[in-house]
Structure 1
Amino acid sequence: MNKLFQVGIRVQVALATALMVVGLAALMSFVVGKRSGADLQTQIGLGVSDIALQMADELDRTMWTHRGEVSVLSTLGALRNFEDVREISSIINRLRREIPIFTWIGVLDHEGTVVAATGDMLVGMNIAQRPVFQYGKNGQFIGDVHDAKLLAEKFPLYNGEPIQFVDIAVPLVNDSDEFTGVLATHLSWEWADTVRKSLFGGQGIHQNVDIFVISQEGTVLLGPDQELVGTSLRLDALTEAKRNHVGWKISTWPDGREYLTGYAPADGHLDYDGLNWSILVRQHVDDALAPVFELRRDILIWGTVLAVVFSIIAWWAAGFLVGPIGHMANAIEAMKRGEISQLPDVRGAREINILSKNLQSLLAKLTEKDAALGAMKHIAHHDKLTGLGNRLAMDAYFEHAIARADRKKGELAILMLDLDDFKPINDRFGHAAGDDVLREVAKRLRRCVRGGDLVARLGGDEMVIVCHVDKNGATEATMLAERILHEILMPFITGGNRVSINMSIGISVYPEHGHDPEKLLERADIALYTAKARGKNGYVLFSVVEKSSDSSTSRA
C-alpha cells in the first residue's frame, strides 16, 4: 500500500511538471504572438526607461553617501581645531586608502592655503580662488563634473583623456563655532563610468543598450561614444528628462539612426538635491525587434523538449531525493532551534546515506573544535593564578574600547594598581598565602567594576583596570579609586592568618591624557609612582602630576 502510494506521488509530480512546462510554453507563445511588434517595443521602452531611472538613482545615492562621509569627517576634533596637522594628514590619507573614489582630499585654512592633503599634493599652495573654497566656506558645496586644473599632471589619463572630478566641500569651524577653514574633496568621475559599465551591462534584451549622463546645460558628461562626450545634445527625450519626467521615446540621434530612448532625471536623494543631471538610455529599434519571431519559435520547440526532460527528472527525484533531503533539512532546522542535539540517520540513495553520515561527523568535529578553540582562547587571554585578563586581553580590549568611546562620545578611565608592601606577606606567610591574597584582591576588584569593564593582571602584584566613563571621566575614575581602596582596606584571611594590605593607584583618562594605549598606561604608571611617593594607600590623577610639574617648572 505504502509503495503504491509512493509511486503515485512520483507520477503525479512528473505529470504536473510536464503540464506546467507545456502550459508555460503555450502561454509564452501566445503572449509573444499577441504582443510582438509594437507591444514588445513598448516593453523594451519601459525597460530602458527603468535602466535610466536606476542609473540616476545609483548616481544620486553614491553622491549622497559621499557627501555624508565628508560632512561626518568635518566634525572630527582634529579637523575642527587644526591642533595637529600630522594627525589631520593621517586621517585624510586613511580615508583616501579606504575609499579610493576620493582622488584628492585637502584641508584649507581660513585664507585658502592647503595645510594638509592626501599625498601632500598642493600642500602650502593657496587655492582661495577655486570654487571649493569660494563656495565651501559659505556652506556645503557640491560642484559638477569638471577637468582637473591644479591636479591635471598628478594623475594618469583615463580612457586616453585627462581625469575629471566632482567636488564636495564643507566649512570647518572650531569649538567656538568660528570659521577655521574648508575641507575640500575631489571625487574621480571614473566611478560613474564604472557604474555605467558594470551595473547594466548586457542584461537580457537590453544587451545592446548605451547609457549617457547629461549635464544641466545639455552637455554629454559620460557615454560609451567618446566622440559625443563634451558635445551638446538636442533631443526631445532630453527635454522630457529636464522636466523631471521618466519614460521613453523613439528619438533620432545625431548619427541619423532611430533609437528607443529611455530618460530619467537625477534629481537627488533624501536631503541631497542633486546636480540636475539627466540620464538617457538608448537601444536601436532594429536590435530591439529582431528577436520577436525567433523567440516565438524557440519557445514552442524548447517547451516541448523541456516538458519531457523535466517530467522524467521530477519522477525520479521525487522518490530518491525530495524525501530524504527534506528530512535532513528539517532536522538541521530543528538543531538550529535547539530542539535536538544531533542529526538523525537518514536513509535513501547511497549518496544520501554518505551525506547524512558526513554531516553528522562534520558537526561533531566542529562542535569539538569550537569547544577547544574557546578553551584555548580563554587560556591565552587570562591570568592562570587570578583568572583576570592578561596583557594580551588588555591589548584586544583597548582596540574596541577606544572605538566605542569615540562612537558614544565618552571617555575611558585607566587605573594602574599596585599593592603596597606585598613582599613581606610572601616572606612571612609564604608564597601560597601571597597567592591567596592576590586571588582575593582579584575578586574584590571585579566587584568594583561593571560587567563590560576590564580588570587585568600585568604581573606580580601589578594590575590595571580599564572602564568606560561619561564625559566627566576624571570624577568617575576617582570615585572608583576610592571604592577600590575601601574594598582592599578590609582584612584578608589566608591559612588562618589575618592579613591587612593597602594599595596605591595611578589614574589616566582617554582622551584627555593621550590617545595611544601605551601612552595612557605610561601616564597612569607615572601617577601610580607619585601616589607611592606621597605615602602609599591612595590614588593620584595624572592631571595632578602635570600641574605639579608645570608649577615646579614655573618656580624654577
Structure 2
Amino acid sequence: MKLRTIFAISFAFLIFIFSTFLSSAISSRTTSQLKGEAGNSLYEAAYQMADKLDYFMWSRYSEVEVLSELLTQKQHAGEYRDEHLLNQLKKSIPSFSWVGITDDRGVVSAATGRILENKDISERPVFKNAVKKPYIGDVHDAVLLSKLLPNPNGEPLQFVDISTPIRDRQNRFKGVLAAHLSWTWSREVQNDILRPLQGKRKGIEIFIISSKDHIILLGPKNMEGKPLNLSQGDGHNWASVTWPDGKKYVTAFAKSKGYKNYSGLGWSVIVRQPEAAAFARAEDLQRFIIFLGAASSVIFALLSWAVAGRISKPLQSLTSAANMVSAGNSIDIPVMKGIKDIEILSASLREMVLSLSQKETQLGEMEMLAYHDGLTGLPNRISMLLYMEKLKKEQDPKGHALTFLFFDLDGFKAVNDSFGHHTGDLLIKHAAVRIRKTLRRGDFLCRLGGDEFVAVIEYEQKQPREKAGQLAQEVISVLNRPFMIEGQVIQIGCSIGGAIWPLDGKDPEEVLKLADQALYAAKANGRNRFCLSGKKLAE
C-alpha cells in the first residue's frame, strides 16, 4: 500500500473519531450549562419577585405604623378625625384603597373619601385582630367596600389588610388605624419583573401562592383563586415539573421570608416557562454542534488526501526537518506508520520535540506558580515586591500620581465559618473578578493572601484623591451586591485604605504602609468604607 493511501485513510479515520467525540463532549457540556442558566434565570426572577413583595409590604406596614404614632401624639380633642391626613396618605400612595380610624368600639370615625364613616366594623378581622397588636392579613375579597370603591375594570376587588392599635400616652386603647391595600399592586410588581425577560424568553408566567390553602393569589386569570400543589422535588431552586395541565415546565421556586420587622405572610413565588421554550437555545446549539462536527469530519477527510500527497515527499524532507529541530527550531513532526524508515525517523524526531516542549512547559509552570496566586490567577506577594522594586528605581512620575488601594473583604471569615472553605475560595475568586472588571485594563492588581488585595492605579495629579475615592466607592458598591455561589446568596462588604505616591511620600513602600494604616482606620470607623491616608471619606 502506498504511503499516501495509508496516511489518507488513517488521518480520515482519526479525524472522524476525534470530531465525533469532541462534538459529543462539547454538546453535552454546553447544553447542560445553558439549561442551568435558563433555570437559574427563572429562579432569579422568582427571588426578585419575592423580595419585592416583602419590601413593598414592609414599606406599607411601616407607613401605617408611622401614621399610628402620629395619631398617638395627637391627643387634643377631635384630632383623631384627621381625614386630611388619611386622604393625603392615600393620594401619596395609591396602593392604599381605603384608610380609616375607628374608636375603641370599632365604629369608623374618619376615613378616606368618608367611606364607611360611622359604620361598625368591629366584627371585621381588620379591627378584631388589631386590638392588642399590629395585624397584617392575607389576600381576601372585598366585602364592605366592593360597591363603595371605584372599580374601572370591573374585576373583583381584593385587598391585603394592615391595621394597628391606637393608644394614648397612658397606653390606653383608643381605636384602630385600619388600611386596605389593593392587591393590584402585586401585578405591577409582576410586570416590572417580566418586562426585561419577555424580549428574551417567551411564555414566562409568575404565580403567587397562599401559604395556608395553596390558593393562586396571582397568576393567569383563568387560574387565580384555584388551588395549586406542586412538589419542589429534591429541594433545588428550579426543576422541570409536570403541571396539572399535563405539560412540562421549567419551574423556579422562591419563598417570601419577610423584611426587617415584617415577618411576611409566607407566600410562595413560582416562575414557570414551557420546557421547549426554556431549553430552545440549548437544543439549537446541540444540533448545530453535531452538524458542525459531521461537516468537519467530511472536510478534514478530503483535506487529508491532499495533505498526504505533500507528506510523501523524499526522505530528505524529514532529514532536513530533523536537522532544524536539533538546531532549536520548533516544528511539528507527524507520526508515520507503515514505512519502517520513516516510522523510525519520525519517532525519533517526535521524542526530541516532546522532550524540549516538556522542559519549556515545566519552566513556564514554575514561573507561573512563583509569581501568581494559584486561586485567582492574579499576581501574588512576590510579584508585588518586584513591582515595588521597579517603582523605587523609577523617578517620580511627572504630572501623574499612583494611588495604592489596600482591600480587605468584610464578613469573609463568617462565610468560611458558615459555608466552609470551599465556598470561601469561590467567593474570593468571584470577588477578584468583580474588582478586576472595575479597574482599568492597565491597572495593577494582586492578591496578598487570604481576603487581602492591593491595587495600584495611575491618575493625572489633578484631583487624584477625589478620583481615588470615586474608584474605591465603585469597588465597595460592586462587592456589596449579593453573590450567588452554588445556590447560596452571600452578602459581604469591603474596607479600603488608600495612599498616593508621590503626594503622600517619596518611598513607594512607605506609601503602601500608609494605605495599610488607612485600611485599619476604615475598619475602625465601621467597615465597608474607604479611608485615604488616614482620612475617612464619605461612603
For the aligned pair, the TM-score class normalised by the smaller chain equals 0.3 to 0.5
| Larger helix percent | 1
Q: TM-score, normalised by structure 2?
A: 0.47
